[in-house]
Amino acid sequence: MTSEPASDAVVCDACPIRCVIKPGRTGSCDRYGNVDGALARLDPLLVLERTQERGGALVPFAARQSDWDGEIVQGADVVVTGAGSGTTYPDYKPAPFIVSSSVAGVDTVTVVTEAIFSYCGVDVKIDTDRHVGAERRLVRARGEAVGHVTTGQYGSQMLSLGGVNHLTGGSKREGMATMRTLLALCSREPVELAVDEGSELVLQAGEPPVINGVVEERMRVGCGSATIGMFAQQWYEHVDEVVVVDDHITGVLSEHQAGRYLDIPATGIRVKGRRSTPGRYFNVAHPGTGWGGTDIEDPLTILDGFDPEVAHPGLTVLMIGTTGEHHAYFVLDDELRPVPAPLPDDLRLSVERITENCEPALTSVLFIAGAGGSLRAGATENPVALTRAVRQMITRVTCGGAPVYVWPGGGITFMVDVTLVPPGAFGYVPTPALVAPLEFTMGRDAYAALGGHMDAIVSLDDVLARPDLRRG
Amino acid sequence: MSGPVAATTPDGSRLHLQHGPIDLIVEAWGEPGGVAEAYRRAWDRFQPLLDELVAELPALRRPVGAGHEPTGSVARRMAAAVRSFPDRFITPMAAVAGAVADEICEAVATGGDLRRAYVNDGGDIALLLTPGESLDVGLVPVPDRPALLGRATVRHDDPVRGVSTSGRHGRSFSLGIADAVTVLAETAARADAAATLIANTVDLPGHPAIRRVPASDLEPQTDLGSRMVTADVGALTDAEVTRALHAGVAEAQRMRAEGLIGAAVLCLGDRVATVSTPVLASAVGG
């Protein structure tokens, strides 16, 4: 009835059709294929065997017993992730894998799935004081709006990219550009972005940001005022005045609380901008990619001369940015004009120390997604019970085995650092939406109590015995 | 080996049936009790369906001949659909998805008090419409470019109960280069067969940018034997796209003139061509 299959073909026994599948091809269902002469379920399940990854030093079984709190599953030796588990959307069927294992003698269940997230995005933290773009300005990829600049945070600029309004609320091109941007960022690939009336950015999770072609090396040590506070002691008696130039808060040593405490005499320096509290100035310049995140290249432009009643010829002034990258040393001449002079050695030490205290500048990417809707039905017959179990911390949520932060409030909206998720875990569907692994882990009793698909549970050993596993 | 499975959405509105390569979404509208009964009938009919088909597979992979008449009801639907096109190379397999949709749709319709229903077999859709009812069918030409190209509203009075899409990106092979051809016809089985044939004629024979391989090299059991199927399409000029589409449009117009199909939408690259009866002209639109 059927012809004899060629030697390199396999006969699939997943359904009665018994497709003869040649190497590199799939059967008529597209779910099973011939991989190197063996029948394989495609989209292999990714299993992380973390302990072995660390050189085979297995954690003794009993050692965890005291840590076990009976509710939240502690780290098992093997983490079955949702990566490659496959999914349907909407979720009519139980999640692709509902895995049971015994952790310290307690039966646990991990519901492993790949979720399709129409509601998702990334928050990007760019460690830089350079001006990236004004708040609320659009961030574009290939000309399409994919997000916007949000708030400035400590030593960093924040972008919010994606979300349902860009993914599916705009044009098709906008949706696709957004999806590609999110996927690339989540996959730790470099992404080129442009901010309206702002900078050109190259961002890659875990790597230094590139702003207008310049690789950002270091984060600021603190705001201008904080820098004064941190280093006042080291400047004291080596220089008469220090100005730490900062787009947010420019600090002036002699006026600052820290200077007063050290009895540093007034210098008569006049700083442009708006004085907040003594020794702290706002708006000394405009945001930019120059000194301390301002647009200035010549620091003297933020000074408005010196009060002749107070200042004296020979007075020394150190001006420095918040990373130590920019600095200049001046001595007042007889007309009280600052004249550039070589930096004395004992001041050089403090400048180097500022640089030393600046951490490497990185781009960090947090994936934010909501598993509020039908996804939950794949895990339990009563979807809201899963939400409640997560909320009550009976169920632990992970994304590709990585810890997540679950937002308070409705639904299961979580954030995860994409660098902790296994490589290749993120995918997409043309909706457009992102696909990401998601695991719910809880005690077997708790799973039964929330209406879990108990019939669909398979043992961890059976999962590990599958020929199509990919081990991370 | 896994058997047939059925599940409904949590709210019970839709039924999902799967067995091997068959993946069906069924949705019916009517009294709640009537809908539940209809889903039960669909499930009853679905369970033995794949085994019935498999029993006749070798014959169904060959062109219909005078001597052999298939016995299973889905197989007979497949054979009947391709008999409408006696002068072209086609095997009953070209209508398998549509025939399955028709079969399950009939099970849904028989005995129930439903207003309307559809059975979607991976893009091959059978419709049930009672007087005054209509269904909107979205046209998505290319799976990885999921824009809604347009929408066909099929009303009870239209001579259409099947909507089917065929092309280069589906699970089956194509002899042509169309990204997608969607056909509206009397049954899903006939729409399926017609879409396959029209997609085969959207072509540029001998064009160097089109890579073709014998179907049997890819899939030993294919019904297409050693016929050359399209593996890859390189860059084409606008004029070439137009020429290829025209060939498909001519085929679709012949079928429409013979009363075999109601309408067709042909997609290649960014271009879309429509063949439609006046009745359906307003229904098939951007």
Q: What is the DSSP string of A170-181?
A: S-HHHHHHHHHH
Domain boundaries, chain A: 10-41, 46-118+372-471, 122-218, 224-356
- The overall average pLDDT reported for chain B is 85
Name every residue whose Cβ is closer than 8 Å to that of residue A142 and which is 6 or more positions away in sequence: A177
Mutate to test the interface with A, among B11, B51, B219 (most CBs of A within 10 A): B219
For A:369-428, CB contacts with B below 8 A are 374, 377, 381, 383
For range A225-250, the mean pLDDT: 91
| Domain B5-281: CATH architecture, name and number where available | Roll (3.10)
The mean pLDDT value for B156-163 works out to 91
Residue of A nearest to B171 (CA): A28
Q: Which of A9, A90, A430 minimises the CB distance to B144?
A: A430
Please report the pLDDT score of residue A268 as a whole number. 94
Rounded distance, CA B29 to CA B12, Å? 12
CA separation for the pair B247, B229 (Å, rounded): 17
Residues of B in contact with A27 (CB under 8 A): 21
C-alpha–C-alpha distance, residues A76 and A104, integer Å: 9
Q: A90 at the B interface (CB within 8 A)?
A: yes
Domain boundaries, chain B: 5-281
- pLDDT tops 60 at residue B172: yes
Across residues A275-295, what is the average pLDDT? 87
Q: In 10 A of CB B19, how many CB atoms?
A: 22
- Measured CA distances, A172 to A56, B60, B181, B182 (Å): 48, 41, 21, 21
Average pLDDT rounded to a whole number, residues B22-50: 90
* A70: contact with B, CB 8 A cutoff: no
Q: Which residues of A touch B51 (CB under 8 A)?
A: 16
B5, B145, B218 member nearest A25 (Cβ): B218
From A17, A29, A381, residue closest to B54, measured CB to CB: A17
High-pLDDT (> 90) share of chain B, %: 46
DSSP codes joined into one string, chain B: ----EEEE-TTS-EEEEEETTEEEEEEEEE-HHHHHHHHHHHHHHHTTHHHHHHHTHHHHTS---SS----SHHHHHHHHHHHT-TTS---GGGGHHHHHHHHHHHHHHTT--EEEEEEEETTEEEEEE-TT-EEEEEE--BTTB----EEEEEETTSS--EEEEESTTSSS--SS--SEEEEEESSHHHHHHHHHHHHHHS--TT-TTEEEEEHHHH-TT-TTTT-EEEEEE----HHHHHHHHHHHHHHHHHHHHTTS-SEEEEEETTEEEEEE-HHHHTTSB-
Question: What is the gyration radius of the CA atoms in chain A, in angstroms?
Answer: 29
Cβ of residue B220 closer than 8 Å to a chain A Cβ = yes
pLDDT, one tens digit per residue, over A97-149 is 555 554 444 455 666 667 778 889 999 999 988 889 999 999 999 899 999 99
User: Taking CB atoms and an 8 Å limit, are B217 and A22 in contact across chains?
Assistant: yes
DSSP state of A91: -
Tell me, yes or no, if B31 comes closer than 8 A to chain A by beta carbon.
no
Of B1, B220, B221, the CB nearest to A15: B1
Q: B interface mutation test: which of A1, A7, A15, A39 has the most B CBs within 10 A?
A: A15
What is the rounded average pLDDT for all residues in chain A?
A: 79
pLDDT of residue B166: 86
B146 pLDDT higher than 60:
no
> A173 CB near a chain B CB, below 8 Å?
no
How many Å apart are CA A14 and CA A12, to the nearest integer?
6
The reply to whether residue B221 touches residue A27, judged by beta carbons under 8 angstroms, is no
Q: How many CB pairs under 8 A join A and B?
A: 74
What confidence tier does A77 reach under pLDDT thresholds 50, 70, 90?
Answer: very low
Residue A447, amino acid? Y
As a whole number of angstroms, the distance between CA B283 and CA B11 comes to: 31
Interface with B, mutate which of A2, A13, A28 (most B CBs under 10 A): A28
Chain A partners of B220 at a C-beta cutoff of 8 Å? 3, 5-6, 9, 20, 22
- A344-400 pLDDT, tens digit each: 998 998 889 888 888 889 999 999 998 765 566 666 677 777 777 777 767 788 888
Neighboring chain B residues of A29 at a CB cutoff of 8 Å:
20-21, 171
Contacts of A25 in chain B (CB under 8 A): 218-219
Question: In A, which residues are within 8 Å of B145 by CB distance?
Answer: 430
How many angstroms separate the CA atoms of B60 and B93, rounded?
6
Q: Of A297, A269, A296, A265, which Cα lies nearest the Cα of A283? A: A296
Q: Following CA atoms B188, B193, B199, B204 in sequence, which dihedral angle do they give, to the nearest 10 degrees?
A: -170
pLDDT digits (tens, 9 = 90+) for A172-222: 889 889 999 999 999 999 999 999 999 999 999 999 999 998 888 888 888
Cα angle, residue B279 at apex, residues B278 and B282 outer, rounded to 5°: 85
Question: Residue A234's closest CA among A318, A299, A323?
Answer: A318
Token pair belonging to A389: 């179990």
Is B7 in Cβ contact with A92 (below 8 Å)? yes
Q: Do B1 and A430 touch (CB under 8 A)?
A: no
Q: Distance from B57 to chain A by nearest Cα, in Å?
A: 8
Considering only CA atoms, give the Rg of chain B: 19
Q: Is A15 on the interface with B (CB under 8 A)?
A: yes
Q: How far is CA B79 from CA B61, B73, B86, B196, in A?
A: 11, 10, 11, 15
Q: What pLDDT score was predicted for residue A439?
A: 81
Could you tell me the two tokens for B10? Answer: 């949590």
**Residues paired with residue A339 on neighbouring β-strands, in sequence order:** A331
**Contact across the interface for A15 and B2, Cβ inside 8 Å:** yes
Closest partner residue to B220 among A9, A16, A383, by Cβ? A9
Residues A346 and A316 sit within 8 Å (Cβ to Cβ): no
Residue A256 — very low, low, confident or very high, per pLDDT cuts 50/70/90? very high
**Is B281 touching A (CB cutoff 8 A)?**
no
ipTM above 0.85, yes or no: no
Which residues of chain A does B1 touch, with a Cβ-Cβ cutoff of 8 Å?
13-16
A65 backbone dihedrals φ, ψ, rounded to 5°: -55, -40
A430 touches chain B (CB under 8 A): yes
How does residue B171 score in pLDDT terms, banded at 50, 70 and 90? low
Tell me how far apart the alpha carbons of residues A381 and B194 are, in angstroms, rounded to a whole number.
42
Q: Is the pLDDT of residue B142 over 60?
A: no
Smallest Cβ distance to B58: which of A1, A14, A431? A1
CA dist., res. A431 & res. A178, Å (int) = 12
For residue B234, pLDDT beyond 90? no
- Predicted confidence at residue A468, as pLDDT, reads 52
**With 90 as the cut, is the pLDDT of residue A343 above it?**
yes
- Closest partner CB to B20 (pick from A29, A88, A90): A29
- Confidence tier at A448 by pLDDT (50, 70, 90): confident
By CB atoms closer than 10 A (0-12, 13-18, 19+), residue A287 is: buried
Mean pLDDT of B241-268: 92
Facing A93 at nearest CB: one of B16, B19, B221: B16
Reported as half-sphere exposure (CB side, CA atoms, 13 A), residue B122 has a value of 22
Distance from CA of A82 to the nearest CA of B (A): 22
Quote the tokens at residue B62: 């060959």
According to the model, what pLDDT value does residue A131 have? 85
CA dihedral angle for residue A199, residue A204, residue A205, residue A209, rounded to 10 degrees:
-40
**pLDDT range class, residue A39, cuts 50, 70, 90:** confident
Q: What is the pTM of this model?
A: 0.47
Q: Are B1 and A93 within 8 A, CB to CB?
A: no
Give the range among A390-399, B40-49, B52-61, B175-184 with minimum mean pLDDT. A390-399
